[in-house]
Amino acid sequence: MKHDVIRVFDLFSIPGKAVSAESYGSGHINDTYAVGVDQAGRYVRYIFQRINHEVFRDPVALMSNIERVTRYLAARFRNDPDASRRTLTVLPAKTGEPVVVDHEGLFWRAYLFIEGARTYDAIESEKQAEEAARAFGLFQGALVDLPGPALHESIPGFHDTPSRFARLVEAVLEDRAGRAADVAAEIEFFQRREDDAFRLANMQRDGCLPLRITHNDTKLNNVMLDDRTGRGVCVIDLDTVMPGLTLHDFGDMVRTATSPSREDERDLSKVRMDMNMFTALVRGYLDAALPFLTRDEIGQLAFAGKLITMETGMRFLTDYLNGDVYFKTSRPGQNLDRCRTQCELVTSIEHQMGEMQAVVESFVTEQPMRVVS
């Protein structure tokens, strides 16, 4: 284990004695631990996270976002019989603050552990796709009326796809790790699709897509599904909740919940956009989000899947070219493998775009949509 989490536990006002700590989950950014605590003979688990402050430059502002959002959600779920599991619960440090700095200058936070539910790194069933999408749709819907000033932008330009494209070009030119020559095919893959990077950004600039409060990191393993019922219990990983486009959230669901393969799968024959999974996603998402989405947003749902898969592929390739400095890796070449699965999925989406668009339309019974192409 990289950190002395038992020592960090003492910085929080959680009763009992920490008896175990283990690395937990498979996130690419923060360091997550499950900490077991003995509370007068009762064993209770908590989640402790070291916030990656290279990525999130202002952990205090970030935690003020998360506190506002989780308090608001807790109030909304107040009458739910399962209220304590429906949102993350931030546990204060002894200072009373939601984030604390340890002896090494690292930033830590703690959450209640959501028991009886789990996350999935790869989609296994249509039901999971539908439930995950409904949970993210409900999450967006619940935050439509969040009172107060705009949330802090925890990572500026996070889904600015044109700037992600520019950063890839920069990484190719700099070629810091001397890898560009080996990935000419992947670089060209994205260059051929440069125009796509601009579509949603242009629509937003032209006032066709509203800025809302969105999650911005809606990959499948950022939603917990109930072990018993399979239903979406809680949307987690709230670091990037900030003003954004609903389409980016839906797009990341398509990226992570339509192919049965893992993100770093090396056998590319396993990577494909499964139309049944896509249909389940649209069903679950629109069930929750149809009341607040505009026609233009609905018209771009299928395209958003392609865009975010492309954007994420570009980010993996950029990181590979920069020498693997952003996403955690556990083996050499992993970021390149991740990039390749994204390219494969983009291609699969391109082949099925007409059908995907028809699926979306089949769920919308009112007046015909305005589809911008």
Interface ranges with ligand ADP (CB under 6 A): 24-25, 27, 29-30, 32, 47, 88, 111, 113-114, 119, 221-222, 236-237, 239
Interface positions, 14-73, toward ligand GN1 (CB under 6 A): 27-29, 55
Smaller CB distance to ligand ADP: residue 45 or 295?
Answer: 45
Residues whose CB is less than 8 angstroms from the CB of residue 231 and which lie 6 or more positions away in sequence, other chains included? 131, 225
Residues whose CB is less than 8 angstroms from the CB of residue 235 and which lie 6 or more positions away in sequence, other chains included? 87, 135, 136, 139, 215, 218, 222, 223, 224
Q: Does 222 bind ligand GN1 (CB under 6 A)?
A: yes
Interface positions, 274-293, toward ligand GN1 (CB under 6 A): none
Smaller CB distance to ligand GN1: residue 19 or 166?
Answer: 166
Smaller CB distance to ligand GN1: residue 300 or 309?
Answer: 309
Between CA 155 and CA 28 the distance in angstroms is 15
Between CA 244 and CA 277 the distance in angstroms is 25
Q: Residue 216 corresponds to which tokens in the numbers above? A: 């911005």
Smaller CB distance to ligand GN1: residue 134 or 219?
Answer: 219
Smaller CB distance to ligand GN1: residue 203 or 308?
Answer: 308
Interface positions, 326-355, toward ligand GN1 (CB under 6 A): none
Among 50, 212, 215, 219, binds ligand GN1 (CB under 6 A): 219
* DSSP secondary structure letters along 175-195: -TTS-GGGGHHHHHHHHTTGG
What residue ranges in the chain does DSSP mark as E strands? Answer: 17-23, 31-39, 42-51, 90-91, 100-101, 107-112, 117-118, 212-214, 223-226, 232-235, 242-244
List the one residue out of 42, 264, 61, 53 whose CA is nearest residue 152: 61
Beta bridge partners of 226: 117
Shortest distance, position 136 Cβ to Mg ion, whole Å: 13
Residue with the shortest CB distance to ligand ADP: 27
Interface residue list for Mg ion (CB under 5 A): 27, 222, 237
Shortest distance, position 23 Cβ to ligand ADP, whole Å: 10
Is there a contact between 129 and 281 (Cβ–Cβ < 8 Å)? yes
Shortest distance, position 319 Cβ to ligand ADP, whole Å: 15
Residue type, 145: D
Smaller CB distance to Mg ion: residue 27 or 251?
Answer: 27
Between CA 76 and CA 83 the distance in angstroms is 9
Binding part of the chain for ligand GN1, among 81-89, 140-148, 235-243, 355-363 by CB under 6 A, reads 235-243
- Decide which of ligand GN1, Mg ion, ligand ADP, none touches 47; Cβ closer than 5 to 8 Å per partner kind: ligand ADP
